[in-house]
Amino acid sequence: MRSGFHAITSAALGLLICAVLAPNLSAQVIAERIGPGGGQGGNGGRSGGGSGGGIARFYAGERARNNALPSFALVKPVRSLGPLPDGFPVRPVFGTDEQGRQTVAIDIEPGTSLYATGEVAGPLLRNGRTVTLWNTDAYGYDEHTPSLYQSHPWVLAVRPDGSSFGVLADTTWRCVVDLSDGIRFAAEGPAYPVIVIDRDSPREVVMALSDLVGRITMPPKWAIGYHQCRYSYYPDTRVRDIASQFRDRNIPCDVIWLDIHYMNGYRVFEFDPSRFPDPRGLNDHLHARGFHTVWMIDPGIKAEPGYPVYDSGTAGDHWVKRADGSVYKGEVWPGWCVFPDFTQQSTRDWWAGLYKDFMAQGVDGVWNDMNEPAVFNVASKTMPEDNVHAGDPRTGPGPHARFHNVYGMLMVKATREGVMAANPDKRPFVLSRASYTGGHRYGAAWTGDNTASWHDLEQSIPMVLNLSLSGQVFCGPDIGGFIDDGTPEMFARWMGFGAMFPFARAHTAVQNRDKEPWMFGPEVEATCRQAIERRYQLLPYYYSLFHRASTTGEPIVAPVFFADPSDPALRSEDDAFLLGSDVLVVAQVTPNRDRVPAMPRGIWRPMLLSGPFNPDLPALYLRGGAIVPTGPIMQYADQKPLNPLTLLIALNEHGRAAGTLYEDAGDGWGYKKGQYLLTHYAAKREGDIITVSIADQDGSMPRPDRTVRVRVLMDDGPDAVGTTTDGTTLRIDLSRIPRPE
């Protein structure tokens, strides 16, 4: 039976919230050191030291702590490590505003830069900006749109000396993050705790955040390749033609996406019998050519007796209810729909079970869209806030106002569980439009319905960076813009750097021109081919970065200021970005290429990959002291073994360099049992001799019998090159290489 919570009116709920909140704010603030649950401890830090040092949790008072709602952001409950030391440098001040919301204010010293706040449009630097965290169907958004599709109540602060702290407001209710004068949160609902992480650098703060909110699981290697999508590819003959065009034109691609037009009358889990009469046969055909497919599933279920999904959901009492206890219905693509109550474990189990037959058609990945949830023909664009969710024993019941921001995340959690149950020997890939802090544990993200404009092209870089700084490291925009046609030059430029993002997918809307790489003419096609080929050459490096993100929480792409957090010239640079810590991507995001980005200090060597110089492609630089693994151009991720392996090397001022290569089967779970190979390469120069060798290795996967090519980028002449067999030491004698006079 459902809880009787629906009998609570909105007015009564407001009184209840005030009753919980008001007494807390007059009490003494409770501050404690915390660490990840399960005995993991912390990463040290500037304050407190030792296990869990530098991480604190604050409550407005004893009652606030006792009545705190369960966290959706934290991957597991944290443990208290005792009182907070007096010297902890960040002290939130609790209060209430004129709307009765709990507020949390944190002062910052002059020169402190603020970032993150999740999915936000506009510049990387967020000082002076305000965002509302309320998941919204934000078609055609811009930097003045108050709320977008995801909510991340997290702020990253970087002090003038480069040290850093982060603040997480642990609430799912509508929350305003105001950075116009320091850091200020104001959230509806009951009192909520605030978690502060203090570290020596912003990179350490982001990694420490992952200790609390979790890390991504290694995706299948094909998901790190290039993706092609539109709204929509249909019928199935069109999908086959798109696949053939990619292969015939030698443009690498791993994934083709299927939007809502594959569905039978927009009924999820059903295929249109005329457009897609044989989905299994289509997927088998694409698999044979090296493609994988991702198919869309929305939360809106057509309210139609006789439709099996509706009938089984009704029988199981799985729908969200109105405040009066009746089933809520709203209009989406199929017409009048009901919506699963993903707050219930029983509903998530039911939803997961729907994927068994769906995935049996050869489906590889799932795309959860419209899951804010979006509702048509209502001013709010979503369901009423006083709708009722039953919850489960951990969370308890509550109004939609409480669960709105996690609705999409809970949907993706259930989807991921269903995909894994259907294909237990494969790694799942799920993409979601709506999410919340911690949602990266279940699915990747994209930045929603952007526009084919130079403005949105430019802001796609800081959007990806701020999402990455908020824990969602597997993300990217719709390359080329979802709304409108754009221009050939714009598409080429966007593809140039868009192919470098963790999630690289071109997408466009139903009424637009075709936006496959070849549809803008031969020059743009050549640029797109070269851009995507670069990604595939760097795929060994990307795969290693994903492994690092999955084990340490380090972002895959990062702002340039990560290279030198104390350099004020880098704090607002958002026309360039770092891949890991070793590769700098400098894009030209203005039509006239008249923007000159700030460069980090130190050694950064120009890094050339395949093809001729192309002004539409970003410049790439290799950090001095780094070794980056690259491979041959492939048409899809597992087309052939990594042979030869090419190591690009830039020596530091001491003549040293180091880098890692992570390898495993590319899918499946063998890597969790040690079936991987993690190789640490090292290079050093002594006089005219450069030695390249394996410094260390880990994992039980045998070392492949392959050729290793080495290219050392030099500042005083041509590259120093050499070839060896992997596992043996290479010596390059510079005295034998002609040097300029």
Q: Which helix (H) or strand (E) holds 65?
A: helix 62-66
pTM reported for the whole predicted model:
0.95
Catalytic residue among 259, 272, 341, 372: 372
Residue 740's pLDDT is what? 62
The C-alpha atoms of residue 731 and residue 728 are separated, in whole angstroms, by 10
Domain boundaries 21-213, corresponding CATH code = 2.60.40.1760
**CA nearest neighbour of 448 among 439, 465, 460:** 460
Confidence band of 538 (pLDDT split at 50, 70, 90): very high
Q: What is the percent of the chain with per-residue pLDDT over 90, rounded to a whole number?
A: 91
Average pLDDT over residues 194-202: 98
b/e code 685-716 from CB counts within 10 Å (16+ = b)? beeeebebebeeeebebeeeeeebebbbbbee
Tokens of 86: 């007096």
pLDDT at residue 681, rounded to an integer: 98
Q: What is the DSSP string of 151-204?
A: E--EEEEE-TTS-EEEEEE---S-EEEE-SSSEEEEESSS---EEEEEESSHHH
Residue 372 a catalytic site member: yes
Domain spanning 221-543, CATH class? alpha beta
Does 256 have pLDDT greater than 90?
Answer: yes
Where is pLDDT greater, at 39 or 138? 138
Q: Name the phi and psi angles at 207, rounded to 5.
A: -65, -40
For residue 50, pLDDT over 60 is answered with no
Q: Using the 8-state DSSP alphabet, how is residue 87 labeled?
A: T
What is the domain class of 569-736 according to CATH? Answer: mainly beta
pLDDT digits (tens, 9 = 90+) for 575-594: 999 999 999 999 999 999 99
Query: Is 60 exceeded by the pLDDT of residue 200?
Result: yes
Binned at pLDDT 50, 70 and 90, residue 14 comes out as: very low
The predicted-structure confidence for 642-669, as pLDDT tens digits, reads as follows 999 999 999 999 999 999 999 999 999 9
pLDDT in tens, 440-489: 999 999 999 999 999 999 999 999 999 999 999 999 999 999 999 999 99
Which segments of the chain belong to CATH 2.60.40.1180? 569-736
pLDDT at 40: 36
Q: Catalytic residue, from 119, 137, 236, 369: name it.
A: 369
Catalytic residue among 449, 456, 458, 582: 449
Indicate where the chain has its CATH 2.60.40.1760 domain(s). 21-213
Residue 11 has pLDDT above 60, yes or no: no
* pLDDT, position 25: 43
Cis preceding-peptide flag for 644 (omega within 30 of 0): yes
Is 278 a residue of the active site? no
Domain with CATH 3.20.20.80 in the chain: 221-543
Least confident of 26-35, 171-180, 185-194: 26-35
What is the pLDDT, as a whole number, of residue 737? Answer: 84
